[in-house]
Chains A and B, each alone.
Chain A
Amino acid sequence: MSDDNTIVRLEEITRTYQMGAVSVSALRGISLVFRAGEYIAIMGPSGCGKSTLLNILGCLDRPSTGRYYLGGLDVSQLKDDELSAIRGARIGFVFQSYNLIQQLSVLENIEVPLYYQGVPEKQSRERARYLAELVGLGERLDHKPNELSGGQQQRVAIARALANDPLIILADEPTGNLDTASGKEILAIFGDLHAQGKTLVLVTHSDEVAERAQRVVRLRDGKIEYDSET
């Protein structure tokens, strides 16, 4: 039923937020399949459930109903510690507001996911340096995030997302806080990653950004309105 290079398989995912007496259905039956090496843009109006979907994809949140297979493993009802392990080893996050840890240097920020995987200090340091150079920050290893521009900070975040060589990279409006030029740089890096065969899921408002993706999924009111695959 699924071919070998399926990475993500969502089956009838719903997510309902209970707010006192009122319940908000953010996702209402999402079924999707992502294959290895795909570059997917998720679009849709504000409040349609893009972030909610991405959080579930990233194992930060659990679906209310439905099944989620990540790399063949059913993760929809895993325990908290197991989800942490999966986030650390298989998912790379890139956020709109960069989300770097302020008191840590560039190098140390990139090392955080490696630390939680128990990578020895020396190896982790080497890997972090390599990744920093990969995103063009080889000269800024010891800088603190507040000494960097937004574009540079987002590049650190990308390096960090790559640290554990994840199955899939999830980015929630990664260019939303950036000026056009910086945004283009970031998109160029994503393009490179795609070319190297990485699987990318990118939430965006911008058609321009979506154009670079290979596949576009459009949501509306917690449902898939359009999927360029089908």
Chain B
Amino acid sequence: MIPKPESLFSRITERVLGFSAARLRQSLKMGMKSLWAHRLRSLLTVLGIVFGVCSVIAMLAIGEGASYEAQEQIRRLGSNNIIIRSVKPPEEQVTTTERSFVVEYGLRHADIQRIRSTIPGVKVIAPARVIRRNVWVANRRADCDVIGVVPWYTDISSVRVKRGRFFTDEELNRDMNVCVLEEGIAQDLFPITDPIGQSVRVDADYFRVVGIVEPRSDPNGKGAEEKTDQNTSQPQGAPNRMYIPLTSSKSRFGEVLVRRSTGSISAERVELHEATVVVADLKDVVETAQIIEEILRSNHKKKDYEIIVPLALLRSAERTKRIFNVVLGSVAALSLLVGGIGIMNIMLATVTERTREIGIRRALGARKKDITFQFLIETVLLSTTGGILGVLLGLAIPFLITHFAEMRTIVTLWSPLIAFSISAVVGVVFGIYPAFRAANMDPVEALRHE
């Protein structure tokens, strides 16, 4: 015979608590009644818990969202990649504002060669040059990063061809005037016609569009745009990108870039703006980065390059997140502690106030255990009600933040569950002492209490 679930549950509660399920239900009902009798007081009592729980959930959601964004940005750079970029050394930056002369700095093809021949595990190296230019179609204009890359750039970056194709090895070798546009700029320049097969003009050169790539989903990502002209009118944000063969970039735009900044003209010669090293095994990424650093250091007089290791960034982002969680956990624990003390305080007052009732119940057959249970249930009901309110509020806040501040928030399933369970535990922990006090009153004394 299989016992009915009801009676099984009843037997379990009987064993564990010394009460049947029916008693438990009755006690819950009684507890709710007595809390409802003092609605306002109950509400004020649980506010601490409400805000504690709510802030835990909301802050976790904001933190999760922020860390997700950061990790996404880093991941988009590719965790197997090591990115090397040319950086203008600071001394030169000062002098160029005063005088005008050609500054030479940055990565060279020779560096790439050296890296390639020194490190065997390296799969592909895709050098890139970045030049900021206006791109024209008839009298339509778009400000744009013109990026010289190699055909296999798509294999190692997050750039995905949407329509058409990327340019080929042959087009690279013959430094042909072909280009691939990002979807955004393609729409700006060709609002009604199909851009593929059409031409765009940069300075005096015309480039035939062979493909469209998907827009990068990280508008503020650490793309190559940071290393380009600073004197364009384009506001901070995402310059559109146009990809052309690396060879074409060199032959059309030369090796010297002239730029005008307030009052002075400066020219700089940069062979390569960016190169990406792809490491086959994730384990070797950090070590390879160190070797590259070593190679570059011994061949460059100044530190005119930077090495970005997305994997290391990812790791440090994870570490940051862990620290954030610890801080958050402490804040949460503290606020729940304060909330719990608030509840205990009120429950102690309630116990004193209801001394007479306790005496009556004891006279009518209540055991100490029954009294303990009654007050404990009330405290737990209070704190879990606070927990539920807190969870609801805590779910609403990230929603509102996402809605109005357009910030990404992520509510994980476990955060409301944990926050709620903690509120229940707070109820038990801080309810025990008042309940115990109530149960241990002498019945005769309690009955005499005014």
Q: Which residues of A contact B363 (CB under 8 A)?
A: 58, 60, 87, 93, 99
A120 touches B364 (CB 8 A): no
Q: Which residues of A contact B43 (CB under 8 A)?
A: none
Among B22, B37, B356, B362, contact of A84 (Cβ-Cβ < 8 Å): B362
Q: Does A16 contact B (CB under 8 A)?
A: no
A-B contacts, 29 of them at CB < 8 A, read A55-B444, A60-B363, A60-B443, A60-B444, A60-B447, A80-B367, A80-B368, A81-B368, A84-B367, A84-B370, A85-B365, A87-B363, A87-B364, A87-B365, A88-B365, A88-B366, A89-B365, A93-B363, A95-B447, A99-B363, A99-B447, A102-B357, A103-B33, A116-B367, A116-B370, A117-B365, A118-B23, A121-B22, A121-B26
Q: Which residues of B contact A222 (CB under 8 A)?
A: none
Number of interface residues of A (CB under 8 A): 28
Report the number of A-B residue pairs with Cβ-Cβ less than 8 Å.
Answer: 66
Q: Does A115 contact B (CB under 8 A)?
A: yes
Residues of A within 8 A of B (CB): 55, 58, 60-61, 80-81, 84-85, 87-89, 93, 95, 99-103, 112-113, 115-118, 120-121, 160, 164
In the complex, per-residue mask of B15-57: 1 if CB is within 8 Å of any chain A CB, else 0: 0000010110010000001100100000000000000000000
Q: Which residues of B contact A112 (CB under 8 A)?
A: 360-361, 364
Residues of B within 8 A of A (CB): 20, 22-23, 26, 33-34, 37, 356-357, 359-370, 443-444, 447
Specify which of A60, A93, A100 lies most central, judged by the most chain B CB atoms within 10 Å of its CB: A60
Closest partner residue, chain B, to A61 (CB atom): B444
B34 touches A81 (CB 8 A): no
What 9 A-B pairs come out closest when comparing CB atoms?
Answer: A88-B365, A116-B365, A84-B367, A113-B364, A103-B37, A81-B367, A60-B443, A99-B360, A112-B364
Closest partner residue, chain B, to A120 (CB atom): B22
Q: Which residues of A contact B357 (CB under 8 A)?
A: 101-102
The answer for the CA separation of A89 and B364 in the assembled complex, in Å, is 9
Among B361, B369, B444, B447, contact of A81 (Cβ-Cβ < 8 Å): B369
B428 to chain A, nearest CB (A): 22
A174 to chain B, nearest CB (A): 14
The answer for the CA separation of A151 and B144 in the assembled complex, in Å, is 94
Q: Which residues of A contact B366 (CB under 8 A)?
A: 84, 88, 116
A201 to chain B, nearest CB (A): 15
